[in-house]
Amino acid sequence: MSNAAVAYRRGFLVVLSLFFSLASQAAPRELPDFSRLVTQHGMAVVNLNVTRDVKRAGFSSPAVSDEKSPGDFNPRNLEENPAAADENSLGSGFLISPDGYILTCAHVIENARDIQVRLTDRREFSARLVGSDRRSDVALLKIEASGLPTVTIGDAGRLNVGEWVLAIGSPFGFDSSATAGIVSAKGRPLPNENYVSFIQTDVPINPGNSGGPLFNLKGEVVGVNSQIYSGTGGFMGVSFAIPIDAAMNIASQLKSEGRVRRGWLGVSLQEVSRALAGAYGLNKPRGALVADILPGSPAAKSELRAGDIVIEYEGRAIDRSTDLPPQVGLTMPGTRAHLGVFRRDGGPRKMIVTVGELKDEGAVRTPARGPASDKRSRYGLALSEMTSSQRKNLDIDSGVGVSGVEEGEARDAGLRPGDVIMEVDGKSVSDVPGFYRLLEHAVPGRPVVLRVRRGMSTLFLAMVAAKSA
């Protein structure tokens, strides 16, 4: 072998050896080491042992959902131990001040007769409930102590999907258990949870974890572990945490006032579909479409109109309809909130709404449907006139009832039997002939915007105008 070949071979082997050496050094760094985080911040996590009145609480142990869906949300009964003969349940919490204030979930301490707090150094205290808020599932406790270790509060808004996070809690009563995963999604809405945009993770969360902190890699708390999605009552890869900024806002109000004052506009919202975005001239579906405005509400006293699309609230972009309620809810009543709105006949505009205070919701009525008609149109619609009593029950001045929907533009738009069509492109529908007269003025092949009453809710649908017969 020539000297050149020998030199080349030696050089190749050196490069190859260096490559594998660097690869072996880099590989361990790809996965985070949580040990220092647990050591430094785990002392502020506490175990909760709650004694409750089972009869008054009405608990049922976690079991396989008897629904046909693959799973169910389990925020409430997550802490119960079905094998326990006494009335104890377990949960977690964390210290947010050296003088003993503890943040946890409202469902952890619901209907509690006694709350015992155990620290990592095995000291135990009896806790006092400062206040709880079921709408956000946040509760604040107080123990009589001083010089306690506390967590560092982070910024949930800076979290990125795919970022590593760590949970510390007491699953099944195993104190100070650490589990890790990644952020799966942000701003996740859940059924019946209008005032929280959850952080979704794949961190293993089990009975006893609720109320515990969710840490980022800096050791900052970014969320409060609250719910799981499961068909068994145990972890199945999907868990949810309350963003820490929302939780701290609620805790601050509970501490200062003992209750939560939540902002309210008095609007019902719907998602902006691709068809509606096209009808409004938006480049893509975005924002929260104001489907209806409650009479006498803060929104009714402002320039906001039904049919407006809210695309910005207090300087923050609104991408989906579910983005708006949590932001409004965290706004202090009386605040003059700045909105960015897109109006179909006027384009983008700015306006101010003085935020009101949310009260308890009352029951809603289910209206009677109008009489059916056998007449079918080229839109696949069967329409019927509304009687004066039907309009009074629905609290509307005009409109026509949808008694049947067949294949065609109406079905494609999402109209259903029982709907009431009140407006076409902002113009009131007086009767069935009036509805078709309004459609005659539409440009064939382009969508018109229908304002529809469905039950006691109002929504907007985009229907393509058919060509003349």
Enumerate long-range contacts of 425-429, CB under 8 Å, 24 or more apart: 425/344, 425/449, 426/307, 426/344, 426/345, 426/451, 428/397, 428/398, 429/398, 429/399, 429/400
Has residue 139 been placed in a domain?
no
Render pLDDT for 144-164 as a digit per residue (tens, 0 to 9). Answer: 999 999 999 999 999 999 999
For position 401, what pLDDT does the model report?
Answer: 87
Residue 454 scores a pLDDT above 80:
yes
Question: Rounded mean pLDDT of 170-174?
Answer: 88
Q: Contact 43/120 with Cβ under 8 angstroms?
A: yes
Contacts of 396 (CB under 8 A, 6+ apart): 386, 420, 422, 453
For residue 293, the domain's CATH number is: 2.30.42.10
Closest-CA residue to 131 (of 35, 258, 249): 258
Q: How far is CA 252 from the centre of its chain?
A: 21
The domain tally of the chain equals 3
Render pLDDT for 238-270 as a digit per residue (tens, 0 to 9). Answer: 999 999 999 999 999 999 988 888 999 998 889
CB atoms closer than 10 angstroms to residue 379: 23
Render pLDDT for 301-326 as a digit per residue (tens, 0 to 9). Answer: 999 999 999 999 999 999 988 899 98
Instruction: Write out the catalytic residue numbers.
Output: 107, 137, 210
Q: What is the pTM of this model?
A: 0.67
Q: Contact 449/426 with Cβ under 8 angstroms?
A: yes
Q: How confident is the model at residue 228 (pLDDT cuts 50, 70, 90)?
A: confident
For position 346, what pLDDT does the model report?
Answer: 80
Render pLDDT for 331-371 as a digit per residue (tens, 0 to 9). Answer: 999 999 999 999 988 889 999 999 999 875 433 333 333 44
> Do 426 and 353 fall into the same domain?
no
Among 256, 272, 304, identify where a domain stops: 256
Q: Contact 351/303 with Cβ under 8 angstroms?
A: yes
> Do 353 and 438 fall into the same domain?
no
Residue 119's identity, in one-letter code, is L
By residue count, the chain amounts to: 469
Check residues 145 and 416 and name the one with the higher pLDDT: 145
Among 223, 256, 289, identify where a domain stops: 256
For position 464, what pLDDT does the model report?
Answer: 83
Residue 278 scores a pLDDT above 50:
yes
For position 68, what pLDDT does the model report?
Answer: 33
> Do 200 and 227 fall into the same domain?
yes
Residue 41 scores a pLDDT above 90:
yes
Render pLDDT for 99-157 as a digit per residue (tens, 0 to 9). Answer: 999 999 999 998 888 999 999 999 999 999 999 998 899 999 999 999 999 999 999 99
Has residue 7 been placed in a domain?
no
> Do 276 and 340 fall into the same domain?
yes
Expressed as residue numbers, the domain containing 314 is 263-357
Closest-CA residue to 273 (of 51, 94, 450): 450
For position 53, what pLDDT does the model report?
Answer: 64
Taking all residues of the chain, what is their mean pLDDT, rounded to a whole number? Answer: 81
> Do 248 and 279 fall into the same domain?
no
> Do 334 and 426 fall into the same domain?
no
Q: How confident is the model at residue 20 (pLDDT cuts 50, 70, 90)?
A: low
Has residue 427 been placed in a domain?
yes
For position 410, what pLDDT does the model report?
Answer: 83
User: Could you give the CA distance from residue 7 to residue 170 in angstroms, rounded to a whole number?
Assistant: 61
Question: Rounded mean pLDDT of 448-468?
Answer: 81
Q: How confident is the model at residue 414 (pLDDT cuts 50, 70, 90)?
A: confident
Has residue 469 been placed in a domain?
no
Q: What percentage of the chain has pLDDT greater than the value 90?
A: 44
Question: Rounded mean pLDDT of 279-296?
Answer: 90
Has residue 177 been placed in a domain?
yes
> Do 305 and 210 fall into the same domain?
no
For residue 208, the domain's CATH number is: 2.40.10.10
> Do 222 and 186 fall into the same domain?
yes
Has residue 10 been placed in a domain?
no
Q: How far is CA 32 from the centre of its chain?
A: 29
Closest-CA residue to 265 (of 195, 349, 315): 195
> Do 333 and 409 fall into the same domain?
no
Question: Rounded mean pLDDT of 173-191?
Answer: 89
Has residue 112 been placed in a domain?
no
> Do 280 and 251 fall into the same domain?
no
Among 357, 372, 403, identify where a domain stops: 357
User: Could you give the CA distance from residue 72 to residue 232 in angstroms, rounded to a whole number?
Assistant: 9
> Do 269 and 244 fall into the same domain?
no
> Do 325 and 387 fall into the same domain?
no
Question: Rounded mean pLDDT of 164-179?
Answer: 92
Has residue 252 been placed in a domain?
yes
Residue 74 scores a pLDDT above 60:
no
